[in-house]
Amino acid sequence: MKIALVQQNYHIGNFEYNTEKIIQGIQMAKEAGADLVVFSELCVCGYPPRDFLEFGDFISRCYDSLEKIKAFTAGIGVIVGSPAPNPDPNGKDLYNAAWFLHDHEVKAVVHKTCLPTYDIFDEDRYFEVGQDWRVIEFQGKRLAVTICEDIWNLGENPLYRACPMDHLMLQHPDLMINISASPFDYDHEEDRRAVVRQNVLKYKLPMYYCNAVGAQTEIIFDGGSVVYDAYGTCTHHMKIFEEDFQIIDTEIKYRPINKHTPVFTSASVLTPDQIIPYLTRRNNIREIHDALLLGIRDYFRKMGFQKAILGSSGGIDSAVTLALASRALGNEHVRAVAMPSGFSSSHSVDDATALSGKLNNPFDIIPIQPIFESFLSTLQPIFNDLPFSLAEENIQSRIRGNLLMAIANKFGYILLNTSNKSELSTGYGTLYGDMAGGLSVLGDLYKMQVYALAHFINQDEEIIPNSILTKAPSAELRPDQKDSDSLPVYDLLDKILYLYIERRKGPREIIAMGVDQALVERVLKLVNTSEYKRNQFCPIIRVSSKAFGVGRRMPIVGKYLS
Amino acid sequence: MKIALVQQNYHIGNFEYNTEKIIQGIQMAKEAGADLVVFSELCVCGYPPRDFLEFGDFISRCYDSLEKIKAFTAGIGVIVGSPAPNPDPNGKDLYNAAWFLHDHEVKAVVHKTCLPTYDIFDEDRYFEVGQDWRVIEFQGKRLAVTICEDIWNLGENPLYRACPMDHLMLQHPDLMINISASPFDYDHEEDRRAVVRQNVLKYKLPMYYCNAVGAQTEIIFDGGSVVYDAYGTCTHHMKIFEEDFQIIDTEIKYRPINKHTPVFTSASVLTPDQIIPYLTRRNNIREIHDALLLGIRDYFRKMGFQKAILGSSGGIDSAVTLALASRALGNEHVRAVAMPSGFSSSHSVDDATALSGKLNNPFDIIPIQPIFESFLSTLQPIFNDLPFSLAEENIQSRIRGNLLMAIANKFGYILLNTSNKSELSTGYGTLYGDMAGGLSVLGDLYKMQVYALAHFINQDEEIIPNSILTKAPSAELRPDQKDSDSLPVYDLLDKILYLYIERRKGPREIIAMGVDQALVERVLKLVNTSEYKRNQFCPIIRVSSKAFGVGRRMPIVGKYLS
């Protein structure tokens, strides 16, 4: 049997677009002589549809799409992802399902059993747990079809009570097919291939694994669909961060293309000293780079925008954001604006100018001193002679936010935010000022990772001026300000943040690893008392296993470690 | 047997505070001669603890608190809510549990079965489903203990597969106890009493129902704990929006205190013409008023702030927000700032002045024209001679946001946001401008409800000047602007919004109810294309069954109805 895997980039709720893409995929598969063509999870509506699943109208449009797709299934088996109704009055109204279509008919519907409900996932919110497992017979083969998380319930402490493949094995399948919408993070691709391989080794069957690709707001689906033979060898792997199509003949024995299948390396066993090297290792940084380009590109395309604007301070964060945006959208589509205040050093403007000279993108210099003075004189009757404080620092940052938004509104740009994860974690930023923006590019990268990414961007050529990489970070909102006046040095800070945020270690555990108690308490308090700021922050392109935003849900008025 | 119900206001993660409160409750119960004292769901850590439940440290502090509480259980049975471990390696690591403590020992742990995972709830994210049901024997009585949602699985289309009381009935209990953290909305109190009554009538047992009270950021727990006898009569009901304590002797036959137990009125069967009268009916508005006062008060108290600031435009939204904040925090703690621009009418400043005169709260007038001109001249090289547009409107709004935040930063205020739900739904507001703030007071009230609330506030005395109630709403950001230039009239708009947001009707259904097709399509498109704005909005005090924020989760780059 010839099986085609179609790895595509869908648009949530854009039924016409998704249906058209799926039909194109079917026709490509037909032309290539496929007997069966496999698409990814919930491809009909796009993943994750979130609360649109609560609208009867949205669900009936999924079924309308299935009808349209059915018309193209003469002589070919098609597996597509779509919600399916739960006919039992007990439980939730929907299943997350794989629909098997053939010769204009629905031949089978497979319900997802393991519903991820953690981090960015919410599937128990919408779907009932599948409890009925049947292989699909097609052209003399018995197919064990599962959906994404269904193959992840392995190990000593499984998250779910049921393991669908264990049940399906009782019906003697010939091969496994898994349709996924499995997102990228810099740990996850290795994990994913390790999990596919573990299934293959456990059940001694080949697996055809089809993943989605493309960014949905902050979540990056990286594709990387794979085929493993029954002996644990990866015989086919598809592109990452791009659409792809492959056709595989189940009867041909493929030579291994990769003898050294990656072995799952658990980042959870890192010692404190290993954390920064791990976070900044070259493989991670290269993948992060590609993920961020896809994230920027898809956000603009799916929102219907072409052009970005950002504040270019002469610092490392805005430099890296500008370089990435120029690569993602084209340098002519990214406008950089330097907005020096009276506290800005001359090298800041020089560095910003040099960077835009190198990238050849539109660049303006708008001094903010006159507006700042106008604020101060307007507020004089209220502030009187109180000393310069955080209030005056924030005024400057918010003037910049207002200027950038004004130009964005006037000419149709989206404002890119340039904050990094170390700042966002500790609340070291100004709401409505440097925290403004429609999309955060670096908000899931700790400062040390931003440096590593800058070096990666500069690997062949000095795009980001070296002076930006070497000077001490500063917000330049008061005379001679340095980040290190307010925050611990970044290699220490990032380590503590990683242990608390990604690894969810409590203060006692982090201290037991040898980190200074007062410092741990101070940092964790900063994180917990700045929830209210992050709550108003824009979507952050997610590249780690625990990004701020939809995947991390904290009380705002809580009083834990604060 | 004498049972004490203790209805208290907890603080998430503030273990010392919550434990102290619970111990005080036990001592009050002892002094009153109680045999058994009942607290609310997850009272030990506060509800909802959200992702703090993923921290081993947080969980062990729950257990530490239980140890402390156990020391006070000599001679009295105590039922408290706390997470409990799942000893089975399969499934999630925790249960949401009721702990029965007596004579310094844990005598029983009841696991919650029905885990709400919809709207604001996320319990499948953290907890395993309970599957073992046992009555607790205590002083010759058999107690059927359930947790909140466990008693809600009724009706023809139940949300869960298991109904814990059905299982417990096989063990012949004498009475039902339910510990809850059940939030307020203006439909929910009736529903809740109807559900308690349905359980009582189904199982023919009395029910002792103990709910939490207090606001946790945007979610209001209204208390209103109740006791029903086995015949469906409410014999005791506790205060709403306040802490309360009652002791009930199970052997005394109480006279009914309320012959007409509210019957569940399903708002889902309203015709379009009934919607506005329903939303603005007096009972709803009075409860909303009280809920908002509690929401404001608890937010400030739990964040450790005393003083609020807000922009007072002379319009109805800021007037109602100011009146409510003055009641909640004390008029001297609420600073109102009028910030007229060149487009502000003189009556706007007059109305704002009159309102603060009436409320006797601190009030300033800060004209923004000089700052606005400074922005325009700074931007002149970029804007050149392009016509006045949305960009210039938004600059003004963001200048106001910056001024308010500057004063807030300087003197330690929290900025209250004054947007209403009709504006937020349609994206009729400026990010970082009038959408700025730490807490939204009216963001879950449609404009027609804001008017009704203003009339309610004015019922005894004209607090909000009548001219504010009668003039046409305007943002005053360009000459002679009116809301009705951009939006449909509010009684029509609010109706469509309610059907789409609260009732989750699709466009075809709303049109079938007789609403104009073009209008429906325009309004739904406005809602769906402004997700990116609401995504950056502050917490909204929740009073409806579907508020923006944690309870409504929509894709941002989606393309459905947009």
pLDDT in tens, B459-516: 999 999 999 999 988 888 898 888 888 899 999 999 999 999 998 888 999 999 999 9
CA-CA distances (angstroms) from residue A117 to A114, B122, B125?
9, 8, 5
| Residue A349 and residue A257 in one domain | no
Minimum Cα–Cα distance from A215: chain B residue: B557
**Does residue A537 belong to any structural domain of this protein?**
no
Torsion angles phi and psi, residue A227, rounded to 5:
-125, 130
**Does residue B118 belong to any structural domain of this protein?**
yes
The answer to whether the Cβ–Cβ distance between B386 and A410 falls below 8 Å is yes
* Residue A561 DSSP code: -
Minimum Cα–Cα distance from B375: chain A residue: A371
Residue B447 belongs to domain spanning: 280-483
Residues of A in contact with B54 (CB under 8 A): 504
pLDDT at B260: 38
Minimum Cα–Cα distance from B158: chain A residue: A90
**Does residue B272 belong to any structural domain of this protein?**
no
Please identify every residue of A annotated as catalytic. Answer: 41, 112, 148
**Does residue A67 belong to any structural domain of this protein?**
yes
* Last residue of one domain, picked from the residues B211, B232, B264: B264
User: Which residues touch B87 (CB under 8 Å, ≥6 apart)?
Assistant: none
pLDDT at A264: 40
pLDDT at B271: 86
Minimum Cα–Cα distance from B157: chain A residue: A89
The answer to whether the Cβ–Cβ distance between A560 and B17 falls below 8 Å is no
CB distance A37 to A277 below 8 Å: no
Residue A523 Cα, gap to closest chain B Cα (Å): 16
> Could you say which residues of chain A have pLDDT below 50?
256-265
CB distance A408 to B390 below 8 Å: no
List the single best residue of B560, B561, B562 to mutate versus A (max A Cβ within 10 A): B560
Q: What is the DSSP string of A525-545?
A: HHHHHTHHHHTTPPPB---SS
**Does residue A543 belong to any structural domain of this protein?**
no
| CB-count burial class (<10 Å; 0-12, 13-18, 19+) for B478 | middle
Out of A58, A505, A559, the one facing B12 most closely (by C-beta) is: A559
* pLDDT mean over B419-437: 98
Phi/psi region, residue B557 (left: phi>0; alpha: psi -120 to 50; beta: rest), is alpha
For A116, the token pair is 């991820």
pLDDT at B258: 43
Q: What is the CATH number of the domain that holds A470?
A: 3.40.50.620
Out of B54, B395, B553, the one facing A406 most closely (by C-beta) is: B395
Residues of B in contact with A556 (CB under 8 A): 217, 539
List the single best residue of A364, A556, A562 to mutate versus B (max B Cβ within 10 A): A556
Out of B54, B158, B406, the one facing A504 most closely (by C-beta) is: B54
* Last residue of one domain, picked from the residues B465, B483, B501: B483
Work out how many domains chain B is built from and give that number. 2
Minimum Cα–Cα distance from B390: chain A residue: A409
For A381, the token pair is 């009757």
B345 pLDDT band (50/70/90 cuts)? confident
What one-letter code names the amino acid at A414?
I
| pLDDT exceeds cutoff 60 at B255 | no
DSSP H helical segments within B258-414, as ranges?
A: 272-279, 282-303, 316-329, 346-359, 369-383, 390-411
The answer to whether the Cβ–Cβ distance between A91 and B409 falls below 8 Å is no
For A382, the token pair is 């209220």
Residues of A in contact with B561 (CB under 8 A): 13
Residues of A in contact with B530 (CB under 8 A): none
Angle, vertex CA A49, rays to CA A47 and CA A53, nearest 5: 135
Out of B125, B382, B506, the one facing A56 most closely (by C-beta) is: B506
CB pairs under 8 A between A and B: 289
Across the strands, what pairs with A209? A178, A226
Q: Nearest Cα to A545, choosing from A186, A302, A13, A176?
A: A186
pLDDT at B409: 97
Residues of A in contact with B163 (CB under 8 A): none
| pLDDT exceeds cutoff 70 at B550 | yes
| Residue B155 and residue B297 in one domain | no
User: Which residues touch B210 (CB under 8 Å, ≥6 apart)?
Assistant: B5, B6, B7, B38, B39, B40, B177, B178, B179, B180, B225
For B255, the token pair is 């006279």
Out of A46, A371, A561, the one facing B378 most closely (by C-beta) is: A371
| Residue B258 and residue B299 in one domain | no
For B467, the token pair is 């001219």
- Cα distance between residue A29 and residue A20, in whole Å: 14
Helix, strand counts (H, E) of chain B: 18, 19
At B295-330, the pLDDT tens digits run 999 999 999 999 999 999 999 999 999 999 999 999
Residues of A in contact with B366 (CB under 8 A): 378-379, 382
| Residue A373 and residue A259 in one domain | no
- Cα distance between residue A479 and residue A496, in whole Å: 29
Please give the model's pTM, rounded to 2 decimal places. Answer: 0.90
Q: What is the CATH number of the domain that holds B195?
A: 3.60.110.10
* Last residue of one domain, picked from the residues A428, A453, A488: A488
The answer to whether the Cβ–Cβ distance between B366 and A378 falls below 8 Å is yes
At A162-211, the pLDDT tens digits run 999 999 999 999 999 999 999 998 877 778 899 999 999 999 999 999 99
| pLDDT exceeds cutoff 50 at B263 | no
Out of A402, A431, A560, the one facing B399 most closely (by C-beta) is: A402
Residues of A in contact with B17 (CB under 8 A): 559
Sign of the dihedral defined by the CA atoms of residues A329, A332, A333, A335, in that order: positive
Residue A247 Cα, gap to closest chain B Cα (Å): 30
**Does residue A457 belong to any structural domain of this protein?**
yes
